[in-house]
Structure 1
Amino acid sequence: MLKVISSHVFLRQRLHPGLLDTLLKSGAQGVELFAARQHIDYSDRTVVREFADWFRSNPMEAFSMHAPLYPDHEMGRAGAPAVNVIHPDKSRRIDAMDEIKRALEVAEQIPFRFLVVHLGERDDTWSPRALEFSMTALEHLRAFANPLGVKLLVENLQNSVAQPAYILEILNTGHFTDIGVCLDVGHAHLNDGVAAALASLKPRIRTAHLHDNNGQKDEHLWPGDGTIGWDETFEGLKSAPQSPAGVLEIHYTLGENPEIVAQKAAKAFEKF
């Protein structure tokens, strides 16, 4: 498995080359850039060029990007609506896709393989309308991403729309053979379990978000600090036909300094 870490662990900070240096020290082969304007302002071409220069000079690749969840610099705390490509309001859906496209444009200067996309927010429920809106959004974003060399990945969430069975229905109904899945292990643990999610999604899995919890809430702990069975999880992931990358997605509220992050990430990578 390719060793990747998400910049989500530093989400409260402005990402800068020094933090990327720290992640490189952990032994990470790639990084998933978390698209949040207060963290990495993907709309600022000067900022993007600075990161592009760093990646050209270092052996760690920009492996993937997590699509933005909010369009502002405050993660919605000032009232900005979430980025939701299946919102009932058409104008909200269009705004959401436009914001994701702004993030995708980073690939013009920093090539990355995958964009991880959320379908809906926590309270969104499955319906024929959710199916229609999901297919429309994925088709639109795929058309924008493909010329940039980026493939879309749908992440399993805690809402009912992005449960494994419905993700497969969306992808199969839309004939999206080139769109894969990012298996979020922590989210799966909070729903029907990691083993069940692996059994359903394994042929479609391209990457996996790796983090732990105690089965009650989405804590994004380091692997081994919760109740997920990691031996079985890694065995299942390694048997997936597309040899998925493992992406450590640790919560920024743990408040650990960069050196501790590098040490804990290196220890986690030993499990790979």
Structure 2
Amino acid sequence: MDHVLSTHVCIQHRLTTVWLDRIWDAGIPAVEIFCARHHLDYRDRAQINELGHWFRDSQLKLHSLHMPMYSDDQWGRSGPNATISITELSKPRRQEMVDEIKRALEAAEVIPYRYAVQHLGVGGEEFDLRKWDAAFTALEELNLFAGQRGVEILLENIPNALSSGERLMGFLEMTHLRNGFCFDSGHAHIMSGIEHEWEIMRDRVKSTHIHDNDGKNDNHRYPFLGEDGNVNWRKTMGLLRERPGQYPLLLELREVPGIPKSIEAAAEVFRRLEELPSAEEERESRR
């Protein structure tokens, strides 16, 4: 499978070409950049242009951008008004959020990328059909804006009552939108389980977010390297290998003090995931 690393692993730092060099030097060929303004300030043309020049001369590929969750440069700590959600019921407020997402999508004019990963609501949000109407209105506008820049918006399963695999499929069936999915293994593990979510979402999956947790907390742990992760990676990789070429293996990890060389550790995780035997190899080994 193709390998991609999300810059979520260094999200506490301003994204510079030094980080991108480290990713390439670790043998990882592509990245997803997380749009958090203290990390990648998509409003800062100087930072965007600097990265654009670097990517034009680099073999490292930009696979996708994760759309912003907050409009401030403090990861939402400036207050609730900084939260970005396309399920916002107030039309003027939602339009402000849509415009903020557009500023991130505009990065494709300088640094071409294929996919934009978008949340439907925020963590823990309750289900409300009016929120589906709001999201439909927002996505109609965003899909057109993104498409004009060669970008496809993918909806991610996140831990709320709007974004399970079943609810996402229901949303697309109701609205007739054609968005693909970003399948998040850690979120599925917290929700109804990886296998159940995968069965529902797999036909539309075009990218992934791979990370571990204890089944309760969304802590984006490194597979194999954390003590509190309990995802069954042998079974999960068996599911992901069902459709070679449809999506990459994309790690979305959180920097932790116990793993000082975060990029190199991510490369080790890729190696160990790929070395897990397939079901057919296991059967052969038992003969």
Tell me whether the two structures share a fold, i.e. TM-score over 0.5. yes
Bigger drift between 220-229 and 99-108 goes to: 220-229
Mapping of 1:36-185 within 5 angstroms? Answer: 36-79=36-79, 80-177=81-178, 179-185=179-185
Q: 1:230 aligns with which of 230, 233, 245?
A: 233
TM-score normalised per structure 1 = 0.95
Query: What does residue 29 of structure 1 align with?
Result: 29
> What RMSD, in angstroms, separates the aligned Cα atoms of the two structures?
1.4
Unpaired runs of 5+ in structure 1? none
Do the aligned residues in 2 keep the contact of 1:212 with 1:219 (CA within 8 Å)?
A: yes
Shift in CA distance, 39/256, structure 1 to aligned 2, threshold 3 Å: farther
Q: Deviation at 1:241?
A: 7.0
Offset of 1:256 from its aligned partner? 4.6
Distance 1:12 1:103 in 2: 19
Find the counterpart in structure 1 of residue 279 from structure 2: none
Answering whether residue 209 of structure 2 is matched by residue 206 of structure 1, we say no
1:49–1:82 distance in 2 versus 1, CA, 3 Å: same
One-letter amino acid matched to 1:234: M
Aligned to 1:251: 254
After superposition, the C-alpha distances for 1:5-51 in whole angstroms (9 at most, x for unaligned) are 01111111111000111111222121001001110111111111110
Q: How far apart are the structure 1 equivalents of 2:244 and 2:137?
A: 28
Judge which range, 231-240 or 193-202, deviates more.
231-240
CA–CA distance in structure 1, aligned partners of residues 76 and 135 of structure 2: 22
Q: Hey, what's the Cα distance between the residues in 2 that align with 1:254 and 1:163?
A: 31
Q: Which amino acid in structure 1 is aligned with residue 236 of structure 2? A: T
Aligned partners of 1:85 and 1:92 also within 8 Å: no
User: Moved runs in structure 1, 4+ residues, more than 6 A?
Assistant: none
Larger relative contact order, structure 1 or 2 (CA cutoff 8 Å, min sep 6):
1
* Distance across 2 between alignment mates of 1:164 and 1:42: 29
Asked if structure 2 preserves the Cα contact closer than 8 Å seen for 1:104 and 1:145, the reply is yes
Q: Unaligned 5+ residue runs, structure 2?
A: 275-287
Percent pairwise identity: 36
Paired positions, count: 269
Query: Which letter maps to 2:184?
Result: D
